[in-house]
């Protein structure tokens, strides 16, 4: 089974989970980098606005084509109860190219379900999902075993 991990991260929390998945599966990994800057205080405010409206933004060139993979693991932080819009932009840009998908999300505490539904709307029904809080990631208090099965 050829797997690809694709993720967006602003403060490296989702990245930690993405890297762990890719290490465990020994597979390719792609970071989605938006051309829009979401760093710092101004970027946070922009993230709230663009996340809530699911704004589609331009992305830096990608290394891998999802249609070359049997399964794509898609990960993002929750922004304003939606999946962060750079990841949604990736899904939109690659519409129709996914064989199977699994979703992973990180968030302070809330907005997981609405974000999973949104990711499904922009891609397809996931085989599995996992929701992990920022605190759980920081303390390593999560288990990917059944998610990866």
Ligand X SMILES: Cc1cc2nc3c(=O)[nH]c(=O)nc-3n(C[C@H](O)[C@H](O)[C@H](O)COP(=O)(O)O)c2cc1C
User: Is residue 14 part of the contact set for ligand X (CB under 6 A)?
Assistant: yes
Stretch that binds ligand X, among 29-37, 60-68, 91-99, 101-109 (CB under 6 A): 101-109
Distance (Å, rounded) from C-alpha 56 to C-alpha 83? Answer: 12
Per rule CB under 6 A, count of chain residues that contact ligand X = 23
Give the x/- contact pattern for ligand X in 22-41, rule: CB under 6 A.
--------------------
Residue with tokens 């990866």: 148
Distance (Å, rounded) from C-alpha 35 to C-alpha 60? Answer: 6
* 148 three-class SS: helix
- Which residues have CB under 8 Å from 92's CB, separation 6+? 56, 122
User: Rounded to the nearest 10 degrees, how much is the dihedral formed by the CA atoms of 68, 70, 75, 80?
Assistant: 90
Tokens (6 digits) for 97: 């190219």
User: Is residue 47 part of the contact set for ligand X (CB under 6 A)?
Assistant: yes
Q: With respect to ligand X, which residue has the nearer C-beta, 47 or 66?
A: 47
Give the x/- contact pattern for ligand X in 61-100, rule: CB under 6 A.
----------------xxxxx-------------------
User: Is residue 130 part of the contact set for ligand X (CB under 6 A)?
Assistant: no
Burial (Cβ within 10 Å: 0-12, 13-18, ≥19) of residue 42: exposed
User: Is residue 142 part of the contact set for ligand X (CB under 6 A)?
Assistant: no
Stretch that binds ligand X, among 19-27, 63-71, 92-100, 103-111 (CB under 6 A): 103-111
User: Is residue 13 part of the contact set for ligand X (CB under 6 A)?
Assistant: yes
Interface with ligand X (CB under 6 A): 9-15, 44, 47-48, 51, 77-81, 106-111, 134
């Amino acid at each position: 089974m050829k797997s690809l991990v694709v993720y967006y991260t602003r403060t490296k929390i989702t990245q930690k989970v993405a890297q762990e998945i890719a290490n465990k599966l020994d597979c390719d990994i792609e970071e989605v980098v938006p051309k829009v800057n979401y760093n710092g205080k101004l970027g946070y405010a922009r993230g709230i606005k663009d996340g809530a409206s699911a704004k589609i933004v331009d992305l830096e060139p990608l290394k891998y084509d999802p249609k070359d993979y049997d399964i794509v693991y898609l990960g993002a932080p929750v922004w304003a109860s939606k999946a962060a819009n750079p990841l949604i932009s990736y899904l939109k840009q690659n519409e129709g190219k996914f064989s199977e998908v699994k979703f992973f999300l990180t968030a302070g505490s809330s907005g997981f379900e609405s974000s999973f539904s949104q990711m499904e709307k922009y891609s397809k029904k996931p085989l599995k999902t996992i929701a992990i809080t920022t605190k759980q990631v920081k303390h390593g208090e999560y288990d990917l075993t059944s998610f990866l099965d």
